[in-house]
Structure 1
């Protein structure tokens, strides 16, 4: 048996290694500048393809002893076709020069994937974006249909969905957000490492069946497969990182390694709450590629992330209210708060290509997280009325005290979660018009959760609520939960392309199935996209996408406000209708693209929830229904020559209703509505039944505007400016009494401008001197960034304080103020 296996693998290895040759080279334009992201495809065998890297370099393994026609194309250049005939194991160097095209041309791509709702995003734009977090999600926040009102968080909302409704993949591996994190300042580093990213695709809705079961969006990230040794490093006041990658001499192994360290201590000093902030966030990642032969290869991805946030608060002073009724909150703290979560991701993927038309990928992945939230904080607060008379010498100073009190918050929360799955994916190119996708996945989940938290309120020496015989704590939650379950998922998808000169139709149709052993529910999701490019104007592309999108609950949706788990909660449902149109334009003789989209999502079996900062707390039932509708507009292109900028505008309305929102209003004998803290007679004698109908969902944001603009000095083109501007109308909020129908007030508008100034003091096409250490550096940039340029106090949430009469004060929690950041970025 051993001899048979040895013979089998020897023959297989010999077949895979002796029938191929390698082509490599550099692609440049007529001025000598390198061209990245050029597609290189063997016309007769389109499964053999690659792209040039950021240095214009490429390497492609191709069959030997055959005449091959190879096409080199990029959207802004005229395509070039070369013919080659290579011997076994031959290494052939082929440098290419591309000429700019005078018009935006339609490039003929054999076996082109039909147009879908997935939009490609250039990863290199992230390094130009002024970013507070250092996470790749900051680039996603600028995309069409995406909103965010918290620069400290990597979380984002897509067309009315919440953060838990977004899919994220790294090399086809699904990854998750932390479970216990309460605020953006605690999040640290998200899992994708921007330095290792080769390709980003994002969909804001109507995505294909081969992607998973979420209601709102999908972010598909692929790491780069290196073809030579290179690296990068950056150092700044917030984030520092080191990245190295390379390939073995025999091209058997390529590797990429990244490490990041972040501390936002410098940034948090601008918050109202003063104290000793000790955040420490770091991670290390490794991506390996084993190219055993063109038939068989393997990928290994390993990520370890450690995020520790410790704060010892000292004091806080916040002024709020109006000019005529200004109030000051002063708080003096004792105690500390510690948030620590560790994440480990390991995955191995085996790729088998028996023919040029068929690919199998077997993924085995394990995700593990351990999270701890430990805090005991006492706050002694004073609520003071400020002098509102501008003519008074004490204007804006304390006029009199409106209340004093103390609160204590205590929590000892621990959660451990692991997800392990095995998935088999298959792609089959039936012919030049039809491509078929199939996949099946078996997943195991295990959750251990210990929740232990409470709050004590005291006002003017009286416990709230006040009892003569006892002290009663508020918001007492103490549970121990353990869950384990299996999920079985499968998908089947077919893509059809009719790319003739007369008709250009593209149809994608697929179905997904998902069964979960915990709630014993099976959901079936058909999805389709129809795209059409008219022959009378090939610059337009029209798309219509629709389908059923189910989101089976994960652990967070099962846990109610009190911490109890409800295993009978079913999958949420969203039916998408997305109509979009893209047009390639020429403005000022430069390329632009206009994108317009209108959508409607019918929502069923919704699980109601409330949001505090970035903490989402579910009510663990399927009693709500709703909808989300709106429109998005985006124009992107070279507003300044050779620099990409864009403007996005989004309009959204998302509402929900539930029989649980029906409530009563009570009146006293004077006919006054009883409002604790405001009415003296709180004994009800009459009531009125109120059905609020549809109320705004927590993510309802009417208008969002995002502008990313790049510019440079004409006489000094190495000096560049990058501007990121965000405007958004206010989100709903309300008192923390878990009554959703009262959470319909509006936060102030979110307004923020971040600007970065960059100087490229080392360029790749410079003349290199002999025996100079700087010859090893290809690129070097120095960035000076100003965050929150306009010094706007943006509100992220509210602290609710109650006096002894029951009157409630909503004190805004502001985000970061203006701050500078200096960072150095080099590539070698």
Structure 2
């Protein structure tokens, strides 16, 4: 809008000076791709002067020019070949052109991050044509998010992530307006399997790391909104690698009233898990089938269906662990010999019907009915005999000789945990656009049923004494036995309006609304106003400034309500966060290529927090609103064409996230009362750096390289055997580089002779991925070894680091037809 006003004003001024000397043209047009879809945000500029504009969301543009006999304009967009178009002056002042742009082989299958469409909001749009070339050990699309500012993760096998110091459970995930739930009982990344999101079916992603509008709720940190494709033609793909395989097919009926896209995935991380220090047999098997269909009932009414079936299983038979740890001057050796096994199952089913109706061009109505079921089980009996020694040869800690035995003993871990979850929901959302205003509203009700059986314990025997030691009985180190059945109903209502207006100073967009929620479990009614104000000044340089904020409530789901002992808190309250986010972005050209610089500063007031401890990816909640806290920081990102025709980005985040447990004072050994005060939240990281980089050989653009680099200062961690949260240490920094190399063997422009076995293929890509390129040992958790080593039977504790997977090479082949 601002660009159009600028050029119209410029056009008017130039007319006054040039109307009698040179002809002028008002060029307008429509930019589409080879399938007929509009190309939004395409750059249209005059070849000689560089002045130009961009196409709107529907691919239309307007460009007033002063010209002689003719003018050459250049139309370009990331992912397409630039097109030069000569427009001649033939006595007409208004010229309309239709221009089709074709995909460029040099940027085939890139991941593109754009924020133009959602620029006035806090949402970032990520357009992913095909994410096959992204090097990812987990195969999840969330690996892209982990390179964005404000997002952190220290687990390559998990799709979970933390945003601006929040927990993994503080992030919303929607697919086609349906809220998606992640597995509840997983305790490590190797158990998790695949993310719900099927990359082959994705059309676009929209992500906000805070300050999002009232249509999203109810979580405190972030929202990831996925849109699945609505096919425009018949095609499909299949891929196979050392980590599994995928297949998908999409198409539409002859009358184009029915569309469908379905995908199947099989994933196994057995090849990666063989690099772990604990020797044994790992058997992970993850299966997933999804389908999305639309039925055009009338020109204004459409019925859709989204379905998913996922069956995930993880079997584990540990054998032994031999490792050295400690300090440079005090190296210790630990040997553990295991017996037993673990068997975990995570099965989910999802079905959703949606009815879209557009009574007129201004009004849109949608009704959604969905059902979700999860059946999870976690069962294990693992015994271990351990020997902890001080290494005799400190320069060669792997030697078998020892200077001194520190502890000898055994342990037994047992679990029979079962969880069944049923979630049924009815929702309605709508919008009405009139002039410069767009009114949006929504409401919904959700019924939840949870059956939980928790039975787990840990026994530790050190030199014949159980820990914790007692003269009268044998005690368990940890135990939780409970049975819970929960029925609850949640309801929500929201309304918001977006108003855009322009002055001579620039364009202002104001989004204001409120969200209300009610939960009958604790009879709590929450209300949260939210607002985003964006201003795009009428400057020569393309800046935009944003201010957003609001009140965000997170009513607890099942995990937050249950304490470590398995007791459900019937008086639990919603956690609350107040967001204030100030940001700006700047679009500019460097080396004649487009770039964007984004910066945001944020502060979050946190109250009624439920403290938790993070063990690998398992969150153990206190089950009570015991704490208050805050999070503040800054995020920076630069994205653009570092290499012509491809988009890459780098991000940097600085964070401070703290919480304070109320009434947690204690009396120390000197008889003084100590108030611990604020301590870091479990996902607090002072600095994170992420990079996603794409490149290709200039003379052979079909040979491509994709690289991701992640760095983050260490998470805090604490002992699971203490109830205090302020006693913590820091893990070492997380550092990881994944590299992907691919060769496009066949594309749509390839000439294939009749009779060739490759004739049906529209694309063939061979790739090699190197996970953990530099074979860095990243720490994820600890084995806590407890021994009785003194006469007072007070156990010592040793935190033995557990590392993630090492370097692995993966070969991948992808075909499209």
Per the shorter chain, which TM-score range? 0.7 to 0.9
CA shift, 1:466, in A, is 2.7
Is contact 1:78-1:98 (8 Å) kept?
Answer: no
CA shift, 1:114, in A, is 6.8
Provide Cα deviations, 1:363-395, integer angstroms capped at 9, x if missing partner: 0011110100000000111112123554x8997
Deviates more, 1:156-165 or 1:754-763: 754-763
Equivalent residue number for residue 539 of structure 1: 542
Equivalent residue number for residue 427 of structure 1: 431
Whole-Å Cα distance in 1 between the matches of residues 83 and 698 of structure 2? 28
Question: 1:486-635 to 2 correspondence within 5 Å?
Answer: 486-499=489-502, 502-635=505-638
Provide Cα deviations, 1:344-367, integer angstroms capped at 9, x if missing partner: 110000011100110110000111
Whole-Å Cα distance in 2 between the matches of residues 403 and 583 of structure 1? 60
Equivalent residue number for residue 22 of structure 1: none
1:446 aligned to which of 432, 446, 449: 449
1:782 aligned to which of 766, 770, 773: 766
Deviation >6 Å, runs of 4+: 33-37, 48-52, 75-80, 111-114, 392-396
Equivalent residue number for residue 238 of structure 2: 233
Provide Cα deviations, 1:657-701, integer angstroms capped at 9, x if missing partner: 1224322223xxxxxxxxxxxxxxxxxxx5321101111111110
Question: 1:648-797 to 2 correspondence within 5 Å?
Answer: 648-666=651-669, 686-797=670-781
Closer, same or farther: CA 349–776 of 1 in aligned 2, 3 Å? same
CA shift, 1:570, in A, is 0.7
Closer, same or farther: CA 276–112 of 1 in aligned 2, 3 Å? closer
CA shift, 1:782, in A, is 1.1
Equivalent residue number for residue 817 of structure 1: 806
Is contact 2:130-2:199 (8 Å) kept?
Answer: no
Equivalent residue number for residue 220 of structure 1: 225
1:374 aligned to which of 376, 379, 386: 379
Provide Cα deviations, 1:59-110, integer angstroms capped at 9, x if missing partner: xxxxxxxxxxxxx996897999x9xxxxxxxxxxx8735899xxxxxxxxxx
CA shift, 1:768, in A, is 3.0
Secondary structure in structure 2 of the residue aligned to 1:167: strand
Is contact 2:613-2:718 (8 Å) kept?
Answer: no
Is contact 2:551-2:578 (8 Å) kept?
Answer: yes
CA shift, 1:773, in A, is 3.0
Equivalent residue number for residue 19 of structure 1: none
Whole-Å Cα distance in 2 between the matches of residues 219 and 661 of structure 1? 36
2:264 aligned to which of 259, 265, 277: 259
Is contact 2:127-2:205 (8 Å) kept?
Answer: yes
Provide Cα deviations, 1:448-504, integer angstroms capped at 9, x if missing partner: 100001111011122222334432222121100000011110100100111466420
Paired residue total: 733
2:275 aligned to which of 270, 273, 276: 270
Provide Cα deviations, 1:584-622, integer angstroms capped at 9, x if missing partner: 111111111111111000111111111101111111211
Is contact 1:323-1:388 (8 Å) kept?
Answer: no
Is contact 1:166-1:216 (8 Å) kept?
Answer: yes
Whole-Å Cα distance in 1 between the matches of residues 182 and 513 of structure 2? 28
Provide Cα deviations, 1:265-318, integer angstroms capped at 9, x if missing partner: 110000011111111101101100001222110110000111100001111122
Closer, same or farther: CA 261–374 of 1 in aligned 2, 3 Å? same
Equivalent residue number for residue 68 of structure 1: none
CA shift, 1:721, in A, is 1.4
Secondary structure in structure 2 of the residue aligned to 1:774: coil
Closer, same or farther: CA 99–769 of 1 in aligned 2, 3 Å? closer
Secondary structure in structure 1 of the residue aligned to 2:132: helix
Whole-Å Cα distance in 2 between the matches of residues 515 and 596 of structure 1? 35
Equivalent residue number for residue 290 of structure 1: 295
Closer, same or farther: CA 294–192 of 1 in aligned 2, 3 Å? same
Closer, same or farther: CA 619–251 of 1 in aligned 2, 3 Å? same
Provide Cα deviations, 1:506-539, integer angstroms capped at 9, x if missing partner: 0101100000000100000100000011102451
Question: 1:344-423 to 2 correspondence within 5 Å?
Answer: 344-390=349-395, 398-423=402-427
Whole-Å Cα distance in 1 between the matches of residues 59 and 322 of structure 2? 55
Is contact 1:445-1:485 (8 Å) kept?
Answer: yes
Secondary structure in structure 1 of the residue aligned to 2:672: strand
CA shift, 1:128, in A, is 2.3
Is contact 1:206-1:578 (8 Å) kept?
Answer: yes
Equivalent residue number for residue 478 of structure 2: 475
Please report the RMSD computed on the Cα atoms of aligned residues, expressed in angstroms. Answer: 2.6
Closer, same or farther: CA 396–532 of 1 in aligned 2, 3 Å? farther
Equivalent residue number for residue 335 of structure 1: 340
Q: Output the TM-score relative to the length of structure 1.
A: 0.85
CA shift, 1:37, in A, is 6.8
Is contact 1:388-1:396 (8 Å) kept?
Answer: no
Is contact 2:459-2:477 (8 Å) kept?
Answer: yes
1:195 aligned to which of 187, 196, 200: 200
User: Any stretches of 5+ residues in structure 2 without a counterpart?
Assistant: 1-29, 43-55, 61-74, 88-97, 105-115, 790-794
Is contact 2:372-2:424 (8 Å) kept?
Answer: yes
Equivalent residue number for residue 39 of structure 2: 38
Secondary structure in structure 2 of the residue aligned to 1:639: coil
Is contact 1:254-1:290 (8 Å) kept?
Answer: yes
Q: Output the TM-score relative to the length of structure 2.
A: 0.86
Whole-Å Cα distance in 2 between the matches of residues 178 and 741 of structure 1? 26
Whole-Å Cα distance in 1 between the matches of residues 139 and 744 of structure 2? 20
Whole-Å Cα distance in 1 between the matches of residues 644 and 398 of structure 2? 55
Closer, same or farther: CA 50–774 of 1 in aligned 2, 3 Å? farther
1:115 aligned to which of 106, 112, 120: 120
Whole-Å Cα distance in 1 between the matches of residues 196 and 135 of structure 2? 19
Whole-Å Cα distance in 2 between the matches of residues 744 and 308 of structure 1? 34
Whole-Å Cα distance in 1 between the matches of residues 101 and 383 of structure 2? 68
Equivalent residue number for residue 136 of structure 2: 131
Provide Cα deviations, 1:549-582, integer angstroms capped at 9, x if missing partner: 1111111111011110012111111010101111
Provide Cα deviations, 1:804-826, integer angstroms capped at 9, x if missing partner: 13110100111001111111112
Closer, same or farther: CA 791–37 of 1 in aligned 2, 3 Å? farther
Is contact 2:303-2:356 (8 Å) kept?
Answer: yes
CA shift, 1:771, in A, is 3.0
Whole-Å Cα distance in 1 between the matches of residues 230 and 118 of structure 2? 21
Closer, same or farther: CA 128–500 of 1 in aligned 2, 3 Å? farther
Is contact 1:313-1:333 (8 Å) kept?
Answer: yes
Equivalent residue number for residue 315 of structure 2: 310
Whole-Å Cα distance in 2 between the matches of residues 742 and 35 of structure 1? 59
Is contact 1:289-1:300 (8 Å) kept?
Answer: yes
Is contact 1:692-1:741 (8 Å) kept?
Answer: no
Secondary structure in structure 1 of the residue aligned to 2:446: strand
Equivalent residue number for residue 464 of structure 2: 461
Is contact 2:31-2:59 (8 Å) kept?
Answer: no
